[in-house]
Each structure stands twice: as C-alpha cells, then as structure tokens.
A = this chain, B = another copy of it.
Amino acid sequence: MSAAMSHYDALDFGSLEQCSASATEREGANISVRELTRLLHIDYPDEAWLACTAFALRRVHDGEALVHSGDKFHSLYIVRSGCFKTVYTDFSGSEQVLGFPMCGDLMGADGIDGGHYKSTAVSLDTSEVVILPLTGMARLTNECRSLEALLYRVLSRELVRVQNMTWTLGTLGAEGRVAAFLLNLSERLGALGYSRCSFNLRMTRQEIGSYLGLKLETVSRALSALNNARIIHVHQRTIDIVDADALRAVIDPAAGVPAGIAAHPASATARSGSNDDGNPSKPRSQFPSGRALRQLAA
C-alpha cells in the first residue's frame, strides 16, 4: 500500500504541505507567471494576476546536479539560463545523454508518473532554473484554468522533442545526426537572440556522441568531414555554420524532414505543400551518403 501511495503523494493536489519545497531551493529571487510564459514562448491573455503569482528560482553551478536519477519527484524545472545535460546512468557507471536542456526547456517530467526522477540533470554551466512545484500548482491552476494548459503544452513540447530524437537515431547516419544536432542548436540559440551561425559548444565530443548514439571519434570525424566540405567551420568547441542549407541537405539530400527536426516548436508548424521535389517516385537511399561529403571536400 505504501508503494502505491508514494506515487500518489507527489501529485496529491488536495494536500499542499509539500508546496514550499526545501529551504535550499528558495535562495534567490523569484519570477512571475508572465515572465514564465515569455520564457516558454507561450502567449497568454494579459491578465492582471499573471504579474502577481511567483515561482522560486534556483541557481546550479557548473558540474552540479539539479536532480539525481531515483530522487523522489517533487518539482518540474524550466531552465532560465545556462545549459544542462540529462543522463540515464547505467548501474555499471556508463552514461547515456538524453538531452541538453537550455533556456526555456523543461526538466524533470520523467518523474511525474513513477514518483521518482528517471534521469539525472547536471549543469554544464552556471545555470538558473524556475521551480514548478507540481503539488503547489493546484492552487494556481484553480485560479487560472489556462495555466493548466500551459503545463500540458510544455509536456507535449518535451514529448515532441524526444520523438524527434528517436527519428534522428532511427533514420540518420553519423553525419546526418551531427548535422541535425548542430542545426537544432543553431535554431535554439537563434531563438534566444544569439547568433545562429556562430556559437560555442558547452559539451564534449563524448557527450555529443552519447546523445547521438555515436562514439566520440565518430563525432569528431563527422565534424571534420563537414568542415572539409566547407559546410561548417570547426575549431575545438567553436562552431561556425557556413552553409546552413547544405547542412540541412546532409540530413535529407532530397526533401523532407518530417516536421522540422531542427525546428523549435515555437516556429511555424504547418508549412505543408511547397517543399515538394519533382520526383517522389525515385526510391533513393534512406541514408545520407557520407561519401558525398568526402567527394565534395576533395
């Protein structure tokens, strides 16, 4: 019985005793709902209370873990600044990176159902997160129905992100995955106001490889190949995207990425029609040839 209830505790909207988390988590300032919607790029009616209700923030230092896999679930987190990695940690110690949440991204949602976080979130930077104590949200969603919808949307967005990842891993080869990774990063940084074509990676080749299901050497080789093909310019963790279209072409030489593998959900969703090449009949190979890049580079 206690096992069944432990799940339930974390979501018991009736009791609010867990609302105010631990003391260590309310060190800093806090932000309003209005700011939160801006952070998430989700528009909502301009109601007065948006400015009132506030969420606590928490600062996480470089290398520090926000939550550990197996910890009891209590809150969702939205990244406000900095960059994280979320990892499954195998019992034997080896890690599998699941994502690199950045500003506006959700963390911790895999803990809702089971009552325990399923992945560990480590900061790759000095970061700041907004704490959404799900138990305490009941009071708020009662006051404003649309706040409930906001949570659904954030969860859905995360789901789409992970689904896109499975598409990437399922259909693309090494260079395609790296290209998709770079385009994704480019889009997200662009959406935050940073340069879309020049940025610094916060993660190692190993971490990228773990994320993309590749070995670090393969990541390095793929980057070199894209570099030699003059599609990007790489020097250590400095990336310059020289030809974004060529980069997109690496992902699918002919046409269609399903619904914007690299696109942030905030961008347009239904851009059907247009992007249709003349010969959909040709059964061209699923794999973007790595050979093509090498020839291009020669």
Contacts and interface: CB of A to CB of B under 8 A. Distances in A.
Interface string A131-159: 00010001001100110110111111111
B159 A159 contact: yes
Nearest to A114: B269
A119 B280 contact: no
A244 interface: no
Nearest to A141: B148
Contacts of A213: 169-171
A136 to B, nearest CB: 12
Contacts of A170: 96, 169, 210-213
Interface in A32-63: 43
26 contacts: A4-B43, A11-B146, A11-B149, A12-B149, A13-B148, A90-B252, A90-B258, A91-B280, A92-B256, A92-B277, A96-B167, A96-B170, A96-B171, A98-B167, A110-B163, A113-B157, A114-B269, A116-B269, A116-B270, A118-B259, A151-B152, A155-B156, A162-B162, A165-B166, A170-B211, A171-B213
A276 interface: yes
B148 A256 contact: no
Q: Which of A4, A270, A284 has the most CB of B within 10 A?
A: A270
A272 interface: yes
- The 9 A-B residue pairs with the shortest CB-CB distance, nearest first, are A91-B256, A112-B156, A170-B213, A169-B169, A13-B145, A113-B156, A11-B149, A114-B269, A88-B258
A23 interface: no
Given A11-B149, A112-B153, A212-B170, A91 B276 contact: yes
Contacts of A8: 43
Contacts of A171: 96, 213
A18 interface: no
A164 B148 CA distance: 27
A89 interface: yes
Given A91-B275, A118-B258, 18 more contacts: A8-B43, A13-B148, A88-B163, A91-B256, A93-B280, A96-B167, A96-B170, A109-B156, A110-B156, A112-B153, A113-B153, A113-B156, A113-B160, A118-B259, A148-B148, A162-B166, A169-B170, A170-B211
